[in-house]
Amino acid sequence: MLFNSFEFAIFLPIVFLLYWFVFNKQVRWQNLFLLVVSYIFYGWWDWRFLLLIAFSTTLDFWVGVQLGKITDARKRKIVFGLSCLVNFGFLGFFKYFNFFVDNFITAFDSLGYHVPVMPLKIILPVGISFYTFQSISYTADVYLKKLKPTNDFILFAAFISFFPQLVAGPIERAINLLPQFNKKRQFNYEEAKKGMQQILWGLFKKIVIADTLSGYVDQIFANYQVLPGSTLLLGAIYFAVQIYCDFSGYSSIAIGTAHLFGFTLIKNFNYPYFSKNVAEFWRNWHISLSTWFRDYVYIPLGGSRGTLGRVILNTLIVFALSGFWHGANWTFIIWGLLNGLFIIPTILFSKNKKTESTSFILEILQIGFTFFLITMTWIFFRSQNISQAFKYFKLLFSKSLFTYPVQHGMAMALPLIIFLFVIEWVRKKNISIFQPTVMPVYIRWSIYLIMVVTCLAFFKQNQAFIYFQF
């Protein structure tokens, strides 16, 4: 079920009313209800996906219970290893099996040997990368004794399948979210209002900005070989904004929806395009995934301890894995490695910390340069294969870069992009224009109404979120 669909517009109010007015007597009944509606939400795409998430949930619940009982270090390692093996095994099979088969065949073909192996027609379960990482983080924290295992299967299953963030995150940690399922939840009007504001802003970013830019991005990337470099630059910028509005839009809707049910999710985006370097960008982009790799890969590898060469190697490993997490394509791996390479200067000059305050002019220059670097990496992310990416770059950085771009939605796209960055800048600087003390209520509600009408005017059915494919 898509957040930006008529089905969800009917589903959410019904679930909200039943949750607060029928199942509000006991926490266990609320959790059971959330589990049922989450499975309905997830099974809306394909009911067969439910079997996989149910199996993973049952396994990791059992693993958690066993880790709470077993004291022998070797046995605990075996039990935790079982969780990793099964979960990553499922993820590897559904997401990467054909990738490895194709590369295996290509490698032998280059040596003159034909391997009679055919790729399988595998349907990728929606959100498998997200709930797998969330489930693994639970068993990892229990194994490391950072968290006590739960003995309540309903509570744990509701945590794994919680529908607002099930399909595309944020990837929640059990330390943050699991205790919220264990305490009495009461309706809070202010939290609900905050949630509705986030949902509306998320829908606006997705429907009005991301989906509008999507058409122009598709046109440019489909016809890049006959377009001037100036238009290809526009296409890269359009995609940078599209993927941000698409993904952060989903996160805003997820976080806002969770607020409606009394839950607080991790902030997944923190104005990343206003970052002054690439390291800062990755502290502000897809925060739940970045911190997951930091805590469960980077730090166990040694983190920032050890020699400079080791720190750089750890960084490149993490970003290569992060790229591979996004999809079974070499373009994603190169995209990840490029981001890792762009972080190396901040490591060499000890700038991989929170950036210091600078003059406004210098800040704008740093932000502009960082946005340019990130936008260039997005070309690999958006391209179908490496060959297309390199051809795109070759044509982009040609003499035609200095020509006037072919009209590809500039009259519509550029005002939307400017509007987005102005609003984001105001929000980043904590200028609370929507506070009652700043803006009269009738103006605020007029803005809300305009946003709703605009979303309805721009609405297109079946516009899936980009990160559903991951």
Q: What is the pLDDT of residues 276-299, one digit of tens each?
A: 999 999 999 999 999 999 999 999
Say yes or no: 377 and 233 in one domain.
yes
> With contact defined as beta carbons under 8 Å apart, do 332 and 324 qualify?
yes
Does any domain span residue 346? no
Say yes or no: 202 and 181 in one domain.
no
Q: Which pTM value belongs to this model?
A: 0.91
pLDDT tens digits, residue range 447-461? 889 999 999 999 887
Does any domain span residue 270? yes
Say yes or no: 64 and 206 in one domain.
no
List of long-range contacts for 77-81, beta carbons under 8 Å, 24+ apart = 77/143, 79/143, 80/139, 80/140, 80/143
Say yes or no: 148 and 197 in one domain.
no
Token duo for residue 250: 């989903």
Say yes or no: 194 and 255 in one domain.
yes
Residue 385's domain comprises 190-276+358-469
The Cα–Cα gap between 363 and 353 comes to 16
Rounded (10°) CA dihedral 250, 254, 256, 258: 180
How many whole angstroms from its chain centre is CA 192? 23
Does any domain span residue 98? yes
The Cα–Cα gap between 238 and 255 comes to 25
Which of 169, 186, 203 terminates a domain? The answer is 186
| Active-site residue flag, 114 | no
Does any domain span residue 323? no
Say yes or no: 242 and 114 in one domain.
no
Q: How confident is the model at residue 119 (pLDDT cuts 50, 70, 90)?
A: low
Token duo for residue 55: 């199996």
Say yes or no: 127 and 196 in one domain.
no
Does any domain span residue 90? yes
Say yes or no: 11 and 73 in one domain.
yes
Residue 412's closest CA among 249, 211, 274, 252? 211
Say yes or no: 142 and 208 in one domain.
no
Say yes or no: 118 and 19 in one domain.
yes
Say yes or no: 152 and 200 in one domain.
no
Nearest 5°: the CA angle 191, 26, 44 is 70
Which of 168, 186, 204 terminates a domain? The answer is 186
Which of 162, 186, 210 terminates a domain? The answer is 186
Does any domain span residue 351? no
The Cα–Cα gap between 275 and 287 comes to 14
HSE (CB half, 13 Å, CA atoms) of 179?
Answer: 6
Reduced to 3 states (helix: H, G, I; strand: E, B; else coil), residue 357 is coil
> With contact defined as beta carbons under 8 Å apart, do 169 and 288 qualify?
yes
The Cα–Cα gap between 18 and 104 comes to 52
Pick from 88-97, 108-117, 191-200 the range whose average pLDDT is largest: 191-200
Token duo for residue 225: 């070989």
- The CB density around residue 96, as the number of other CB atoms within 10 Å, is 15
Question: Which one of 259, 286, 326, 408 is the catalytic residue?
Answer: 326
pLDDT tens digits, residue range 71-104? 899 999 999 999 999 999 999 888 887 776 766 6
Does any domain span residue 316? no
Token duo for residue 1: 């079920």
Q: Quote the pLDDT of residue 249.
A: 93
Say yes or no: 172 and 23 in one domain.
yes
